[in-house]
Amino acid sequence: MGQYAAPLRDMQFVLHELLNVEAEIKQMPKHADLDADTINAVLEEAGKFCSEVLFPLNQSGDQEGCTYVGDGVVTTPKGFKEAYKQYVEAGWPALGCDPEYGGQGLPAFVNNALYEMLNSANQAWTMYPGLSHGAYECLHAHGTPELQQVYLPKLVSGTWTGTMCLTEPHCGTDLGILRTKAEPNSDGSYAISGTKIFISSGEHDLADNIVHLVLARLPDAPKGTKGISLFIVPKFVPNQAGEAGERNGVKCGSIEHKMGIHGNATCVINLDNAKGWLVGEPNKGLSAMFVMMNAARLGVGMQSLGLTEVAYQNSLTYAKERLQMRSLTGPKAPEKAADPIIVHPDVRRMLLTQKAYAEGARAFSYWSALHIDKELSHEDEAARKEAADLVALLTPILKAFLSDNAFEGTNHAMQIYGGHGFIAEWGMEQYVRDARINMIYEGTNAIQALDLLGRKILGDMGAKMKKFGALVTAFVEAEGIKPEMQEFVNPLADIGDKVQKLTMEIGMKAMQNQDEVGAAAVPYLRTVGHLVFSYFWARMARIALDKEASGDPFYKAKLATARFYFAKLLPETAMTIRQARAGSKSLMDVEESLF
């Protein structure tokens, strides 16, 4: 069945030693009274819930899956409903929400840490409250006061859950060709008709009501993405008292039979003159929905970190216990029939890859969440703008780089377990299957790469990228002269210089041929992802060096992992840079008949 324990020591290291969040939030008036002890206490309690309540349901939930009973009714696996009730009663849905609607008002970085643990324990279950939080954020940003008063308290409390209904059978990611229609009613609502597919958490038995955020077209709307509006379409229309009332014309037609995340219902949603209300401005629904889409992309990053962490924990335990063969340099456990497999170099390579990617992702994602807090709450307008630009730049990296790494990390877990990794009862093959969807949904990783290179970097002539580059440069200039930091700063400076040159080269090529962007985007994102990780690993190494003398083995381990990252993982960029520079010719000159 495996095991999971919240990595509280490393979480606290990132929050308090790397990011110094207690000092940072002093610049955010609504969070200024929060202290480290409170943050730690919240995370400790969350860790208990995740390991004791959610984790035991992960494997059984995968094996049972969701069931389409018929007539739009879906049931979740045994124990899911009871776990959700405990989650709601403990107040976890409200953690990062506005107190005006019943929330606890804690910063995004605390909520982010909660979701790491939830996803390690049970990604499929976590998608139900995760999408609800995204719906909350969208309505909080763009809903009318009337809609906010009706729906936000229910979403904040967890009494109702939310979904995002974007794609349709014929359009996939190309939302500009969606066909769902919205006809105005005389009472100010709209009649929504159409079919949506791949709707995670689209139907279930966990909550009293499900709030769908639906993209649709108004009559005479412009073609393409400029003609998309956003509507809130509840499963049950709220009555005068604000409770779930009459059944709406929105129903689950079926659920998908999937490779992974079996415990989450992926639904076909049919809308037949369903009553809905406009969210945001007409024909500007995609920009409003991007609040939820960006939240979901950050959420996928946390799903990927969660899976990388739990896969590492189980791999490490197994590698220390599993006996097989002798060390190449002689027996390490001569009293036993064979040595534990952790003595073998390649097993160590896989374990350290998992560890480096998990701890690098934790630093990066928590830093990103802190910058979301700065964007929303910092008292200085310039600081808010700076944070917003950095979050916009790095969101596609957080989604794509972390999910790529999670798939590699979970595959390593299966490999470390050997033949047992291929057997369902050990649980590793589930992590591989669950991790694979993270590279696809919320915009495939190739789409994230196009967003990064085409829109976020070339689209503003590198202005946002220069802001992150300034952080790297400042660190290199401050630490580069110190002998003990050479092994970390020199490769960081080198990859920073190479990314700058690569970006300019691709930008020049793209002026002549836009296919150059498409050909370079995926290896380019991998390259920039490593630049980001190099920056955080160098910063963590600095802290570990400063505290190594304390004798705490935590810092010794952090330094060892940093050295492994720079020696064994960063060199991937030698390949990805060459791939990005290779251009589009070898791809686009191949005639279709030759495939």
| 3: three-class secondary structure by DSSP | coil
235-249 as b/e: b if 16+ CB within 10 A: bbbbeeeeebeeebb
Chain center to CA of 279: 25
Q: How far apart are CA 111 and CA 95, in angstroms?
A: 6
Report phi then psi at 195, rounded to 5: -130, 130
Helix (H, G, I), strand (E, B) or coil at 45: helix
Q: Which residues of 174-207 are buried (b: 16+ CB within 10 A; e: fewer)?
A: ebeebebbbeeeeeebbbbbbbbbbbbbbbbebb
CB contact burial 415-425 (16+ within 10 A = b; e otherwise): bbbeeebeeee
Catalytic (active site) residue 442 = yes
Measure Cα distances from 239 to 34, 248, 345 in Å: 38, 12, 64
| DSSP type of residue 76 | P
What's the CA gap between 509 and 490, in Å, rounded?
A: 29
458's CB contacts (< 8 A; 6+ apart) are 503, 506, 507, 510, 517
DSSP state of 36: H
Distance CA 538, CA 489 (A): 7
Q: What residues contact 138, with CB distance under 8 A and at least 6 apart?
A: 164, 213, 230, 279, 288, 289, 291, 292, 295
Annotated catalytic residue within 116, 203, 429, 442 = 442
Helix (H) or strand (E) holding 197: strand 190-200
User: How many whole angstroms separate alpha carbon 114 and alpha carbon 119?
Assistant: 9
- How many CB atoms sit inside 10 A of residue 320's CB? 12
Strand duo 266-279 + 250-255: pairing:
antiparallel
* Spatial contact of 61 and 122, defined as CB atoms under 8 Å apart: yes
Q: Which amino acid is at 180?
A: T
Candidates 436, 419, 434; CA nearest to 318 is 419
Q: Which residues are catalytic?
A: 442
